[in-house]
Amino acid sequence: MPKDTFLNLKPHKKEKIIQATIKELSIHPYEHVNLANIIRDAGIARGSFYQYFEDKDDLYMFFTHVISEKKAAMFKDLFDLSIDMPFLKRFKEIYLRGFDFADAYPDLVKAGYYMTQSSLFRNSDLYQASYESGIVFFEHLIKLDQDKGRIRQTLDPRFLAESILDYMNKMNLDYYIHPSDTREIIEKRIDTVIDILEKGIAHHV
């Protein structure tokens, strides 16, 4: 994470570095990010960068923290486990809120997309920890619904959590880069998925 010298910067200077980082990350995948471009666009000396961050990985860690903070603010009510909400309803709301997030922070999300396209980044401890936390969160929600009789006890909660999270991430990221679908299409798609999850694909007489 950033050093105290970065955290103590004036807000406008800190924001300039963040925006320069977002710009570079929205153009190049992890392996090809050029710190010189970030340093130039932020208007800082190269030596100053290393007073703020240890290295590129440290900058990446900070960037993911920025995304997490903004998501936490926008998804706050949906991440609140004290609110009793059926898993599939919460999943739908999280899914749709993801598109709201993309509309609110297009550059930030585009940068996040390029990060996830890097096999090197996907294999990093940082990404694996983030991915695992998402699975654990969904798995916990599924288990709660199993205890309440909303979801069959025979279903493997982790497998279901992984499948749903992977689907949601893929659909959201596709929209982030190719935002051609209307809200109506997006909602119809998620309603179809939920219908399949609730009723299965077998014909019931």
Distance CA 70, CA 58 (A): 19
Q: Which two tokens stand for residue 114?
A: 């390029």
Distance CA 90, CA 84 (A): 9
Domain 4-61, second-level architecture = Orthogonal Bundle (1.10)
SS (H, E, C) 73-102: HHCCCCCCCCCCCCHHHHHHHHHHHHHHHH
pTM, to two decimals: 0.81
Q: Which two tokens stand for residue 3?
A: 């050093």
Indicate the DSSP class of residue 171.
Answer: H
AA identity, residue 86: P
pLDDT at position 201, please? 81
Domain 75-199, classified CATH 3.40.640.10, yes or no: no
**Any idea where the domains of the chain sit in the sequence?**
4-61, 75-199
Q: What is the largest CA-CA distance in the chain?
A: 72
Q: Which two tokens stand for residue 53?
A: 């961050």
Of 151, 155, 162, 46, residue with least CA distance to 88:
151
* Tens digit of each residue's pLDDT, the chain (205 residues): 788 998 888 999 999 999 999 889 888 877 888 899 999 999 998 888 899 998 888 888 888 888 888 888 999 999 999 999 999 999 999 989 988 888 898 888 888 778 777 777 778 787 888 889 999 999 999 999 999 999 999 999 999 999 999 888 877 766 666 667 787 888 888 899 899 988 888 776 6
Asked if residues 46 and 25 have their Cβ atoms less than 8 Å apart, the reply is: no
AA identity, residue 81: L
Indicate the DSSP class of residue 178.
Answer: S
